[in-house]
Amino acid sequence: MSDHIDHLLTETRRFAPPEALASESATDAALYERAADDRLGFWAEQARELQWETPFTEVLDWQPPHARWFHDGTLNVAVNCLDRHVDAGHGDRVALHWEGEPGDRRTITYGEMTAEVKRLANVLTSLGVRAGDRVAIYLPMLPEAVAAMLACARIGAVHTAVFGGFSPSNLRGRIDDAGAKLVITTDGGHRKGKVFPLKPTVDEALREPGHGVTNVLVVRRGENEIDWVDGRDVWYHEAMADAEPEHEAEAFPAEHPLFILYTSGTTGRPKGILHTSAGYLAQTSFTHRHVFDLKPETDVYWCTADIGWVTGHSYIVYGPMANGTTQVMHEGTFDTPTPERPWQIIERYGVTIFYTAPTAIRTFMKLGRQHTHSSDLSSLRVLGTVGEPINPEAWIWYRDVVGGGTTPVMDTWWQTETGAIMISGLASVTTLKPGSAQVPIPGIEIDVVDDSGASVDDGDGGLLVVTSPWPSMLRTIWGDDERYRETYWEKFGDRYFAGDGARKDEDGEIWLLGRVDDVMNVSGHRLSTAEIESSLVAHEGVAESAVVGATDATTGQAVVAFVILKESAAHHPVEEAERILRQHVASDIGAIARSRQVFIVPDLPKTRSGKIMRRLLRDLAEGRDLGDTTTLADQSVVEAIQSQLR
């Protein structure tokens, strides 16, 4: 779609909440005023929605760049997500409607999930896991993944979930950096009609000594054949059968570490983002309630994120479960066995709130509306998106075709680091503008600034900063506080630098413009150009490489690599070299890092000081006219690359 039409769509269309949604909601616009009048008082009020063992007396202790929220209070995160709902008489409420990819189903109530987590807490303790110890969770979308996270939280252990698509060396890197002593995994999960083995990846990751893992707890799911290390490996179902059913939960300080989640930065080494307990839980549950107008008694909520990413943590496990939500969890991919699958699931469970990624929406669009029309989607009342900017065309398609032309579409901006939604409308309050993520949620303060830190209010755009600390903010980078300071705080002092470009329009509403650093966003997943470049140069045939994120109609961005081969590899036919290198990166990092294209080139465009000109490579990859190339050290390089691309 041309920029011109995009512009017309966004400038002319506004969508107010449907009358019924606005009048029956517990959320109202007064939240903004309350938060603006007394920001800390407002967050204290939200935190008091949680169940505390010892109430806090201090809301915020801010020693930039370190914040402590509610720090003298104590609570147990798992009790907040489970036991308190059972105690309130909701033990029979469904927590999870789970569907396996082959079509098998499980329904798990809050009472049952509480019992599972208590037993699992006892299993973890019997395996020597204590408060503060780290546990790696390498599991696909199984109810046991939810139980594993909550069982860690229950005993004060710190989980680090690793996305099931990551390679052995990536898994090992995270296990080592976190110092994990236990890994929880499965024999295999179902994906695209096959069993996708996971345990062999764990075995491979742990093959070389030097790690601190003493046990591997294995959930039986795929029933695929696996190797077994006696004394180390433990079947989940056997350990659970032997475990005591009762478990008394201990309260932990509000700032007790809850989880570490690794995310890509601008260097080759992923960052272990550390989140703590009460502030994180307060903001995830608050935003989940008010952004989506949640009614826990009647709503059926489905977030399609994977548990291995932050959206799975904040908007499948912690936020929704703290709110006592009934949700759908689905194991496989959307197109298996047919593209009708997601819509059949919505109809089957009467899903009312659906939260997914723009890349999925664009895929649905490409497949065509006949698939959505195969099912009755009239139960849907609120839709959401996260992970990357959503173009107005996809926004309107989502609302019209999935949402029957009536549902609000909540475009939620946030990051692994922010822990919870920061910019979004509120479903029952906000008049929405497709393509804009709207405004900071109540209690959050955000600005768009230029390089010197001055606010930019005209439409030109600048850098997104968060101007005051927020409850669910990251507390540090695990094991590297210096990198935490440098990455997020060095640029603007006590304002958090998000790494995103943004602009404010004439109504003060925010439009996200993508990353301003060397981080790519592929299908809503963050990938570092540096990480893929170092993987490429680790291949024996590669002399040098440069990776860029090129615009892609479905995935937002796609990985495009430019590679100079060593003399010794130059005899390979180009197609073969490209195929080998794509495969190399996929097995070194994981399939998500696989390049869309690898171009074998004779040289890379560099400035006179030797810096690779990525902007130029991006233009080349996207087939655009090259802008100013006068800073290039050698003009002939571009011509040589262009002749390769043709």
Contact residues toward ligand PRX (CB under 6 A) are: 263, 310-311, 386-389, 411-416, 437, 498-500, 512, 515, 521, 526
Neighbours of 253 (CB within 10 A): 18
Nearer to ligand PRX, 117 or 321 (CB): 321
Tell me the closest approach of the beta carbon of residue 174 to ligand PRX, in angstroms: 15
Give start and end residues of each alpha helix (H) in 451-528.
Answer: 481-484
Tell me the closest approach of the beta carbon of residue 181 to ligand PRX, in angstroms: 26
Nearer to ligand PRX, 110 or 395 (CB): 395
Nearer to ligand PRX, 151 or 423 (CB): 423
Tell me the closest approach of the beta carbon of residue 204 to ligand PRX, in angstroms: 25
Give start and end residues of each alpha helix (H) in 368-441.
Answer: 369-372, 392-397
Tell me the closest approach of the beta carbon of residue 10 to ligand PRX, in angstroms: 14
Tokens of 529: 């150009």
30 Cβ contact partners less than 8 Å away, ≥ 6 residues apart? none
Neighbours of 294 (CB within 10 A): 26
Nearer to ligand PRX, 91 or 408 (CB): 408
Tell me the closest approach of the beta carbon of residue 529 to ligand PRX, in angstroms: 14
Residue whose entry in the numeric block shows the structure tokens 């807490």 = 121
Tell me the closest approach of the beta carbon of residue 177 to ligand PRX, in angstroms: 17
Nearer to ligand PRX, 171 or 216 (CB): 171
> What is the distance between the alpha carbons of residues 470 and 276, in angstroms, rounded to a whole number?
12
Tokens of 574: 């180009």
Residue whose entry in the numeric block shows the structure tokens 């809850």 = 258
Nearer to ligand PRX, 18 or 501 (CB): 501
Nearer to ligand PRX, 156 or 165 (CB): 165
Give start and end residues of each alpha helix (H) in 49-105.
Answer: 77-81, 83-85
Tell me the closest approach of the beta carbon of residue 214 to ligand PRX, in angstroms: 31
Residue type, 115: A
Tell me the closest approach of the beta carbon of residue 576 to ligand PRX, in angstroms: 34
> What is the distance between the alpha carbons of residues 404 and 203, in angstroms, rounded to a whole number?
48
The conformation of residue 637, written as its DSSP 8-state character, comes to: H
150 Cβ contact partners less than 8 Å away, ≥ 6 residues apart? 77, 78, 81, 82, 113, 117, 317, 321
Nearer to ligand PRX, 171 or 565 (CB): 171
CA–CA distances in Å: residue 586 to residues 168, 373, 387, 553, 592: 11, 36, 22, 21, 7
Nearer to ligand PRX, 236 or 315 (CB): 315
> What is the distance between the alpha carbons of residues 108 and 327, in angstroms, rounded to a whole number?
10
CA–CA distances in Å: residue 612 to residues 171, 537, 556, 601: 30, 15, 23, 14
Nearer to ligand PRX, 413 or 478 (CB): 413
Residue whose entry in the numeric block shows the structure tokens 């030097």 = 210
H helix or E strand, kind and range, residue 120: helix 110-126
Tell me the closest approach of the beta carbon of residue 521 to ligand PRX, in angstroms: 5
Nearer to ligand PRX, 434 or 605 (CB): 434
Tokens of 566: 């060593």
Long-range contacts of 109-114, Cβ-Cβ distance < 8 Å, separation of 24 or more: 110/82, 110/85, 110/86, 110/324, 111/86, 113/82, 113/143, 113/146, 113/147, 113/150, 114/82, 114/83, 114/85, 114/86
Which string of DSSP letters, residue by residue, matches 331-353?
-S-TTSS-TTHHHHHHHHHT--E
> What is the distance between the alpha carbons of residues 252 and 9, in angstroms, rounded to a whole number?
50
Nearer to ligand PRX, 287 or 416 (CB): 416
Tell me the closest approach of the beta carbon of residue 519 to ligand PRX, in angstroms: 7
Tell me the closest approach of the beta carbon of residue 269 to ligand PRX, in angstroms: 16
Tell me the closest approach of the beta carbon of residue 439 to ligand PRX, in angstroms: 13
